[in-house]
């Protein structure tokens, strides 16, 4: 008999589903403290929560029989995922169960702003009849611009098409085929912002996307444009948004999420051309039922079959498996991370090959880690070996594996190749002394590099003075060069430099290197 503890309120539909399952015993006790949860948890195989329960390391250690924590919803800030991983406890969530609800809220805000609905409601309540003052606008044939084209963004696109809107979208990790399937035209981020009549955000919150809509981007928007954020607080620079709205540089905005929640002291609250909702993205009866039923199904599936749907971490590998493949997996992850930073267009296919002694171990954990390296920094929820394949599939990325015991000149060799639209990029890596990773080639350039820290990678003309010019630019900005390797390609009059630097370069300094006449491309990678 598998025992499940529910420590937060779930919809009755989810509880009823659990009660109908053979071999499952359910116990409900909500509103418990950490100590109370520690006292309860030892006898249970699974814990189902929402946002109320705090699943700390102390709770996890007390769960002697605990196998899985299921979060009804997407956020797992209240779960110590790292501790769960170390203790071999699966953590899973329901990332798509409330996607429709959030997408519909964004569409609702579009109509609310276009037809001045909050102002109209207040006007009538005050005994006024301001029809001419509250003149609105149709959304039909306007440009709906979607920043982030995951599950929610795609639902928004479908709704926009149904409203006869022109739908454009930006997401650097989605392939053209996926955009086409959902009736969206892929554009650059700058084009998206400039062309938008309605700019709606549906991207995750990462270091790369924090403040993605700031003063510079707001200045690009049409004066008639409207901004909607139902994704994550922090994607929009609220100070810059305040100045933009106060000056009338865009027509309006709607926020469901904020840098600080609730936004009690925000100057935005003083403006009339912005609409607020209190983080209602998932707040519908249907969504509450959906997340409860979905997490119940996922947890039962895991307990009965071991299949971990929407898992955010991994159980511990056996010592034997770790010994065989850990270093190859680490190398593959590094190569995947470097690969995604060397391309400017979405990777449609990732090819992973193992050679020599690397081909003697199971390839799937290695290739999956290459995917993890490629996608881990692109999402605000954890990406790991359990969930990365489904994420890649959702993004339209296919995985191809090849293995051969031919050595390719190295005792161990792993090769990752990213197939983009009209271009491929390949990286090869090996291990020195069975444990020290080395990058040995990028495309046709043979180059031995220690893949760690901050790397500056340039392609430039193969002629005297280029390396000196790059070094001078870095030296003038007090950037120390710890290592530098230069490789040439036999078939080209070009060279490649991989430079390990002491500190990351800001955008201005990267541009200064790029402005050196003989330099063609500059990429900066943080490992």
With tokens 């890649």, the residue in question is 392
CA atoms within 13 A on the CB side of 424: 12
With tokens 């898992």, the residue in question is 311
Can you read off the two tokens belonging to residue 517? 């006449």
Active-site residues, by number, are: 232, 261, 279
Cβ neighbours for 123, distance < 8 A, ≥ 6 positions apart: 129, 130, 133, 134
Separation CA 265–CA 262 (nearest Å): 9
Separation CA 413–CA 440 (nearest Å): 9
Cβ neighbours for 333, distance < 8 A, ≥ 6 positions apart: 369, 370, 372, 373
- The answer to whether 435 touches 327, Cβ cutoff 8 Å, is yes
- The answer to whether 325 touches 361, Cβ cutoff 8 Å, is yes
- The answer to whether 22 touches 42, Cβ cutoff 8 Å, is no
Tell me the residue ranges of DSSP E strands in 358-473: 398-404, 412-420, 423-432, 436-442, 445-449, 454-461
List, edge to edge, every strand of the sheet that includes 412-420: 398-404, 347-356, 412-420, 423-432, 436-442, 445-449
Sign of the CA dihedral running 492, 494, 497, 498: negative
Phi-psi region of 235 (alpha: psi -120 to 50; beta: other; left: phi over 0): alpha
3-state secondary structure of 352: strand
- The pairing of strands 198-201 and 226-229 is parallel
Residue 7 CA from chain centroid, whole number: 29
Helical packing angle, 285-305 and 99-114, nearest 10°: 160
CA atoms within 13 A on the CB side of 377: 19
With tokens 């031995």, the residue in question is 448
DSSP class per residue in 213-229: B-HHHHHHS-TT-EEEE
């Amino acid at each position: 008999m598998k025992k499940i503890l529910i420590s937060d309120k779930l919809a009755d539909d989810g509880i009823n589903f659990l009660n109908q399952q053979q071999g499952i015993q359910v116990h409900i006790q909500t509103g418990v403290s950490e100590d109370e949860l520690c006292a309860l948890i030892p006898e249970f195989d699974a814990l189902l929560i929402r946002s109320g329960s705090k699943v700390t390391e102390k709770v996890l250690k007390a769960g002697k029989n605990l196998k899985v924590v299921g979060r009804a919803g997407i956020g797992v800030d209240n779960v110590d995922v790292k501790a769960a991983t170390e203790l071999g406890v699966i953590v899973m969530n329901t990332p798509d169960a409330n996607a429709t609800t959030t997408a519909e809220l964004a569409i609702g805000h579009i109509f609310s702003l276009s037809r001045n609905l909050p102002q109209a409601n207040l006007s009538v309540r005050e005994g006024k009849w301001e029809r001419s003052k509250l003149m609105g606008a149709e959304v039909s044939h306007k440009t709906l611009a979607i920043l982030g084209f995951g599950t929610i963004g795609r639902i928004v696109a479908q709704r926009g098409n149904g409203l006869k809107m022109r739908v454009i979208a930006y997401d650097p990790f989605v392939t053209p085929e996926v955009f086409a399937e959902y009736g969206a035209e892929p554009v650059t981020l700058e084009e998206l912002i400039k062309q938008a009549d309605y700019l709606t955000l549906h991207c995750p919150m990462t270091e790369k996307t924090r403040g993605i809509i700031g003063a510079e981007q707001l200045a690009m928007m049409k004066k008639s444009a409207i901004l909607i954020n139902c994704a994550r607080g922090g994607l929009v620079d609220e100070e810059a948004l305040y100045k933009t709205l106060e000056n009338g540089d865009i027509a309006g905005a709607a926020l469901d999420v904020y840098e600080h929640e609730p936004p009690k002291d925000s100057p935005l609250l003083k403006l009339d051309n912005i609409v607020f909702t209190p983080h209602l993205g998932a707040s519908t009866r249907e969504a509450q039922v959906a997340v409860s039923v979905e997490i119940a199904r996922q947890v039962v599936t895991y307990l009965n079959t071991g299949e971990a749907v929407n898992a955010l971490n991994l159980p511990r590998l056996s010592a034997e498996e770790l010994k065989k493949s850990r270093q190859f997996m680490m190398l593959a992850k590094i190569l995947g991370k470097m690969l995604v930073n060397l391309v400017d267009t979405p990777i449609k296919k990732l090819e992973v090959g193992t050679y020599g002694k690397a081909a003697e171990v199971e390839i799937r954990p290695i290739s999956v880690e290459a995917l993890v390296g490629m996608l881990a920094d692109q999402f605000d929820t954890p990406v790991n070996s359990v969930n990365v394949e489904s994420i890649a599939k959702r993004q339209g990325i296919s995985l191809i594996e090849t293995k051969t015991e031919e050595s390719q000149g190295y005792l161990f060799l792993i090769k990752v190749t990213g197939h983009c639209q009209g271009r491929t990029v390949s990286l090869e890596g090996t291990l020195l002394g069975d444990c020290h990773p080395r990058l040995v080639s990028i495309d046709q350039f043979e180059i031995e590099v220690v893949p760690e820290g901050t790397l500056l990678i340039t392609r430039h003309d193969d002629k005297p003075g280029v390396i000196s010019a790059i070094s001078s630019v870095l030296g003038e900005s007090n950037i120390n060069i710890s290592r530098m390797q230069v490789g040439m390609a036999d078939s080209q009059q070009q060279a490649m430099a991989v430079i390990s630097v002491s500190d990351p370069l800001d955008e201005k300094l990267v541009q200064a290197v790029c402005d050196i006449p003989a330099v063609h491309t500059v990429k900066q990678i943080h490992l």
